[in-house]
Every structure is written in structure tokens, then in C-alpha cells.
Amino acid sequence: MTDPRRTEHVHPQYTHLDTLPTTELVQAFADDQLGAVQAVQKAGASIAAAVDAALPRLERGGRLVYAGAGTSGRLGVLDATELTPTFSWPAERAVPLIAGGERAIRQAVEGAEDSFDLGIKDAQAAQLGPDDILIGIAASGTTPYVLGALQAAREAGALTIAMANNPGAPILNAAQCGILLDTGPEIISGSTRLKAGTAQKITLNTISSALMVRLGKVYGNLMVDVKATNTKLEGRAVRLVQHATERDEATARTALEEAKGSVKTAIVMLELGLKASEAEELLGRHGGHARAALQEKT
């Protein structure tokens, strides 16, 4: 019997994959990944709808909660983890749930993804509320753990978003915002860590980054809420201030020191000739949006 899930089909174009010379093998893998980009592009309207639905909840203080198993779960962990250094997003407001717990990040935990009840239990333990958003991720779209987490989230009144790589997948129907990433058969049959996983990664990047833009953590296309936790990021913060204000390096560094490392505050200080405390107060009145703060004074 043929599995109806397209991600489980054998790709007809690559039946002699193991015979290809290395250069052709590498090119085949690269070419097949283009399918991930195309799938995300086709899902653009659904992704935008999910962002618009999630935004007001985050503005009220809600959390992004991710639920997945295997590769999908690890991608959720990655997206949640990267929000803090990139946007100074509070770590407690990005909660990854992965079937099997933290051990599953590095090794398979047998049976965990097959437990609907474990998904319910983990989501309930996260104490979801009406302002939270749960993003369920599963290439197959049938993972019981994710279905359980989505059910618990709905019962808690949270917004539910689901992404899957197969048309008609159950998790798409189990969520308020379903995102189909129809990537089709994998170049290596069933290995959804390939273009299915790539499409999921692009989509997670897009959702979380778009939300951060809407929340005022980006000015123009500058990452003005970056958390400078190492030498590389400290240098990046200086360059961001320089670029936004057209000031020299010494001036940018001085402003950043007075702003306690806040790129956004330093920009407002330099552009409007304000003290750090004044810039912070102005930004506060505008919900942290640098453009709105600057426009008030111009």
C-alpha cells in the first residue's frame, strides 16, 4: 500500500543517486533544496495570516511556544534559542517543547513522538494562556505528540499555528492557522531533515523575524535590539549605530556606553541630541519603536 504522504514517496528523479560523481551529487542536493524556497513562497499568504494573528498576543505579553519531534522539534529549539541574542527577546517568552525533552536534542528518544498524551502533558506543563502562541511543527503532519500539544493549547485558549509538508495533514486542521509547505518527495526517500526541514526553518525564521519587526525590534533593516554578549556582537552594535546615524566610531561607542549597550537608545540619543534617560523615556512612550520615537521629534 502506498503511503499517501508525499514526503514518504520515492523521488523519481534520483533513483540512481548513489552512482553520481561527487560534483553531480552535491549539485543534486543543492538543486533539490530549491523546492523548499518555492514551498515557502507558495505559503506566503498563510504565513502572513499567522503573523498577523500572533502579533496582538505578543503585544499583550504572550509567549511563543514551539512543539515538535525529531528534526522539527530541534528546529523549534533553534528558533526559540536564537531570539534572545538576536532581538533581546526574553528567554522565558520563547519556550521550545520537544518530544523526549532536552535529551532528544542530541539523540532519538524512542516512542516519544508517538505519544499524544505526552504532547498534552508537555503543553499543559508550559501553563499556556490566551495570550500565548503554540507553533506545532511536523513534516508528516501526523505526529501524535504535536497533535496532543495543539489540543492542549486550544483548550487553554492559546493561538495555534501548525506547519506540515503534506497536503491534508491532520495538524493543519487541528490549528487555527495552518501552513502547508508542500515540498514533495525527498532526494533521499523519507529524509525530511532535507528540504522539508529547510522549508520549516525558513518559515520559522520568517514568522519570528516578521513578529520582531512588527514589535519594533528592527529599525529600517537594522537589528537594533541585538544583545551584545561577545566581542563580535559588540563590534556589530557599534557599526549599526554608525550606519543609522552616520557618526564616527568613537561617537557611536560613547553613545552605546551611555545607553548601556542599547543600539536603539544610542540611535535615538544621537539623532535627537538626548541623554540616555530621555531617549529611553521617549522609546517607552512609543512601545520601543525607534522610527515612531524619531518621528515625534522631527
* Residues that are catalytic: 82, 113
202 vs 276: CA distance, rounded Å: 36
Grid cell at residue 78? 533553534
**DSSP secondary-structure letter at 282?**
H
CA-to-CA separations, 159 to 122, 128, 291, in angstroms, rounded: 16, 10, 29
How far, CA to CA in Å, does 170 sit from each of 13, 15, 108, 216? 28, 30, 23, 35
What is the residue whose three cell numbers read 528567554? 91
**What residues does 26 pair with on adjacent strands?**
none
Q: Are 75 and 137 in contact (CB under 8 A)?
A: yes
Q: Residue 64 in 3-state DSSP?
A: strand
Residue listed under C-alpha cell 552594535: 237
CB 72 within 8 A of CB 209: no
Q: What angle do CA 141, 145, 150 make, to 5 degrees?
A: 75
Measured distance CA(107)–CA(114) in Å, rounded: 16
As to burial, measured by CB atoms within 10 angstroms (0-12 exposed, 13-18 middle, 19+ buried), residue 147 is buried
Backbone CA torsion sign across 192, 195, 196, 198? positive
Q: Taking Cα atoms as reference points, which of 171, 106, 96, 112 lies closest to residue 138? A: 171
Handedness of CA 97, 103, 104, 110 (dihedral sign): negative
Please report which helix (H) or strand (E) contains residue 84, including its range: helix 70-87
